[in-house]
Amino acid sequence: MNTAVLVNFLGFSTVLAPLLFLLVIGCSMLLQYELSEVAVGRWMKGTIGFGLLTSVSILAIMLLARSFREVVDLGNLVTIEDVHFHFHLSFIFDRLSVPMVILSLVLCFTIGSFGISYLHRDNGFHRFFLFFSMFAVGMVFASLAATIETLFLGWEFVGLSSALLIAYFHERVSPVANGLRVWTVYRIADAAFLAAAVLLHHETGEGQFIGMMSSEPWPYGVSTLDSVVAFWAGLLLLIAAAGKSGLIPFSGWLPRAMEGPTPSSAVFYGALSVHLGAFLLLRVSPIIDQSFPLRCLVIAIGLITAIYAAFTARVQTDVKSSLAFASLTQVSLIVVEIGCGFLYLALIHMIGHACLRTLQLLRAPTLLRDYKTLENALGGSLSVRAPAWIKWTSPSIQRRLYRAAMERGYLDAILDECFAKPFLRIFNAFDRLERSWICILSGEPLKATSKLNMETNTKKPIGTTHDSAPIPSSTREHS
């Protein structure tokens, strides 16, 4: 068989395997045909495992053939020939995407297998694997994307599945509120990404990374954009990456995201999702290279976040939050490496960090037992030493730093006070104004409307076990 045909076949299989898992579990849930846990496990292992096998095979073929880049073309999703508009779907296998996709599939396979026993007989077992499959599809699409639109597609899938998995324990308010908060940050990042994607598509006339960054394979590509466009497009992509990877000023969501079940925390915030922002910056590194101010900005954001996360991680009182900030420190350092142009180092750092953090997060539920085992083996307590530089700081500075770190740099409070609360205050006022305006127009006094609202608000659902209040005939009937 021809090598190109073989690579194409294997490439298709890598992309389609997790998609098949999503389709099977999605359709079964939509049609109310519940698969058994064993069946879900088999589908998960079969599809993700097959995807992993094919991606490793591609790596082997590329190594044997000394090929640095293979493109698997799925053709145009949409084309309008008159105006040369193409929405191209193609996947690239190169020195960046192959390690990333293999890492994604290895970790998805491992954590999926862990999740089968971890969530055994849990009410949300199928829901977990639905979102998990969506995440796997998103990661594979984002890792292998050859066009910025395909990357956006995967990016969105990862975002949606993350938010839904944070709210996995949805009978409690806290995970749901945190899920919504993460989704809000992700939407800001998505909006920046979409704007950047359209801007790049518009400037270069195509969405292909190969076209945007000369024909050299990663990391030797050179951006074809002029420096001003590169700055603005890069800035939008940096905002997107900051949102996804929890860099400053969006860092507040990361510990909140730990509300999800441990397997999802591991896969999202320890291993893959949190690195997706850094991966995006690696993919568009030629654009960053094109603009010096942008490069400085990338380094600055990385450094500030690293310092912030390192301080904050030290004072966390639960293991998952502590690990979240520790992850953030490393991700920020990876961003600094990208800004400095150490692309291979950043890639290796990312892979190593993802594997280590996954292991730590999966061991997190048994941390106390692990400590006990360790202390028994040592025959004494584990010592905790203060860092050396602490001697040269005054107690008041230490106190301030401690408080700031405990409050996670007041980032959430700043965003709430400066953006969320004024926004809600303004639009709640508009809402009240509109209701009053309707009352004036309809001639119904505002008081009566409030009463009507109160009556409808206290209306109890039909057939519930709660006390059923009679529904006043004046309230609206629903159809």
Partner 1 sequence: MNELHLPWLEFAILIPLLAATYVWKIKSAEEKRFVSIVASGITLAVTLAAWIDFESLITYEARDHWDAIKAIFGREEFMIDQLNSPLLPLTSLLFLMTFLATPRVKYGVYSFTDSLILLSITLAIFSTKDQWLLIGLLIVQTLPLSWEIHNRVRSTRVYWIHMSAFIVTLIAGGWIYQATTSAWWHGVAIIMWMIAVFIRGGCFPVHCWITDLFDKTTFGVSILFITPMIGAYAAMRLIVPVAPDWAMQSIAFISLATALYASCMTIVQKDARRFFCFLFLSQSSLVFVGLETASSIGLAGALCVWISVSLALTGLGLTLRCIESRTGEVLLTKYSGLYAAMPNFAGFFLLTGLSCVGFPCTLGFIGSELLVDSAIEFSPLVGFVVVASTALNGIGIMRAYFRIFTGVKYESSIPIASMRSERIAILTITVILVGGGLLPQIIVNSRYKAAVEILQHRTK
Residues that bind partner 1 (CB under 8 A): 29-30, 32, 77-80, 82-83, 85, 87, 123, 149, 152-153, 156-157, 160, 163, 167, 170-171, 173, 176, 179-180, 183-184, 187-188, 190-191, 194-195, 198-199, 201-202, 423-424, 427-428, 430-431, 434, 437-438, 441-444, 456-457, 459-465, 471, 476-479
**CA dihedral angle for residue 107, residue 113, residue 114, residue 117, rounded to 10 degrees:** 170
The CB-of-13 to partner 1 minimum distance in angstroms stands at 19
The CB-of-17 to partner 1 minimum distance in angstroms stands at 17
Collapse the DSSP code of 248 into the 3-class scheme (helix H, G, I; strand E, B; otherwise coil) and give the result.
Answer: coil
* Residues composing the chain: 479
Two tokens, residue 230: 């590169």
Residue with Cβ nearer partner 1 (233 or 284) = 233
Two tokens, residue 56: 């490793």
Residue with Cβ nearer partner 1 (78 or 386) = 78
Residue with Cβ nearer partner 1 (21 or 308) = 21
The CB-of-135 to partner 1 minimum distance in angstroms stands at 14
The CB-of-419 to partner 1 minimum distance in angstroms stands at 12
Collapse the DSSP code of 87 into the 3-class scheme (helix H, G, I; strand E, B; otherwise coil) and give the result.
Answer: strand
> What Cα–Cα distance (Å) separates residue 367 from each residue in 361, 363, 428?
9, 6, 45
Two tokens, residue 128: 């977990």
Residue with Cβ nearer partner 1 (191 or 299) = 191
The CB-of-309 to partner 1 minimum distance in angstroms stands at 26
Q: Are 54 and 10 in contact (CB under 8 A)?
A: yes
Pairwise CA distance, residues 17 & 51, whole Å: 5
Pairwise CA distance, residues 397 & 390, whole Å: 10
Q: For the chain, state the CA radius of gyration.
A: 25
Residue with Cβ nearer partner 1 (138 or 302) = 138
The CB-of-256 to partner 1 minimum distance in angstroms stands at 14
Pairwise CA distance, residues 270 & 264, whole Å: 9
Residue with Cβ nearer partner 1 (95 or 435) = 435
